[in-house]
């Protein structure tokens, strides 16, 4: 077992640039506790040097635990790919509602239920609008926010995956762009 003992007192020899007897110095003693004849190594390490060594050691340990950037990128791509089916289902579901502005009751109900199922805290009726909501997850920093437009627009009905105007119902509201359906 190693014991770390720091002895602080007047330096017997002045360090470079210091006057003898006027500075407070420190030396580090490492003692290995054992029976009789225990090992004692008086290393004479200054606290500043010790801090530098400890910071470098900590940085080396942390860098050894952090995967390389390419590994993190691959992991992020895998996580996104795992959500591909759910994402397409969400897009298709939201597209199917095609509710006009301030009338997105089904869309809001669908999205807030999905968010709550995934651990978000949802506050409904924000700013006095029944279809407006704020969802939050966790606490503290950083705060990441995004806003989205979930309403349809008048006369924008559109078949999914079609690159030209081809309404599902002529004159009906829709999202206009037509999602790339699976």
pLDDT digits (tens, 9 = 90+) for 24-64: 333 333 333 444 444 344 444 455 555 566 666 666 666 66
Half-sphere exposure of residue 29: CA atoms within 13 angstroms, side-chain side? 9
Greatest mean pLDDT range, 131-135, 139-143, 165-169: 131-135
The residue whose two tokens read 């225990």 is 38
Query: Using only C-alpha atoms, what is the Rg of the chain?
Result: 32
Q: What percent of the chain has pLDDT over 90?
A: 37
- pLDDT score, position 33: 40
Instruction: Using the predicted structure, report yes or no on whether residue 180 has a pLDDT greater than 60.
Output: no
Residue 10 forms part of a structural domain? yes
User: Please, what's the b/e burial string for 27-55 (b: 16 or more CB within 10 A of its CB; e: otherwise)?
Assistant: bbeeeeeeeeeeeeeeeeeeeeeeeeeee
C-alpha span between 162 and 175 (Å, rounded): 13
Residue 13 forms part of a structural domain? yes
Predicted confidence band of residue 112 (pLDDT cuts 50, 70, 90)? very high
Residue 21 forms part of a structural domain? yes
Q: Which domain covers residue 9, as residue numbers?
A: 2-66
Residue 62 forms part of a structural domain? yes
Give the residue-averaged pLDDT of 118-130.
Answer: 94
User: Which has more pLDDT, 29 or 131?
Assistant: 131
Give the residue-averaged pLDDT of 133-153.
Answer: 89
User: Please, what's the b/e burial string for 6-23 (b: 16 or more CB within 10 A of its CB; e: otherwise)?
Assistant: eeeeebeeeeeeeeeeee
Residue 176 forms part of a structural domain? no
Q: Number of folded domains in the chain?
A: 1
- H-run or E-run covering 89: helix 84-97
Greatest alpha-carbon pair distance for the chain in Å reads 96
CB atoms within 10 A of CB 168: 15
For 158-173, what is each residue's pLDDT tens digit?
A: 887 788 888 889 999 9
Residue 20 forms part of a structural domain? yes
Residue 6 forms part of a structural domain? yes
């Amino acid at each position: 077992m190693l014991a770390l003992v720091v002895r602080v007192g007047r330096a017997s020899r002045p360090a470079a640039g210091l006057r003898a007897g006027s500075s407070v110095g420190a030396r580090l003693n490492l003692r290995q506790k054992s029976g009789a004849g225990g090992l004692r190594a008086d290393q004479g390490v200054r606290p500043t040097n010790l801090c530098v060594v400890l910071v470098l050691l900590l940085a080396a340990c942390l860098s050894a635990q952090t995967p390389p950037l390419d590994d993190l990128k691959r992991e992020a791509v895998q996580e996104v790919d795992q959500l591909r089916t759910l994402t397409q289902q969400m897009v298709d579901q939201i597209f199917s509602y095609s509710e006009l502005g301030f009338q997105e009751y089904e869309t809001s109900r669908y999205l807030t239920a999905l968010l709550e199922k995934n651990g978000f805290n949802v506050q409904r009726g924000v700013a006095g609008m029944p279809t407006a909501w704020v969802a939050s997850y966790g606490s503290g920093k950083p705060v990441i926010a995004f806003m989205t437009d979930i309403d349809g627009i008048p006369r924008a009905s559109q078949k999914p995956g079609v690159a030209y105007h081809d309404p599902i119902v002529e004159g009906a509201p829709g999202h206009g762009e037509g999602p790339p359906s699976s």
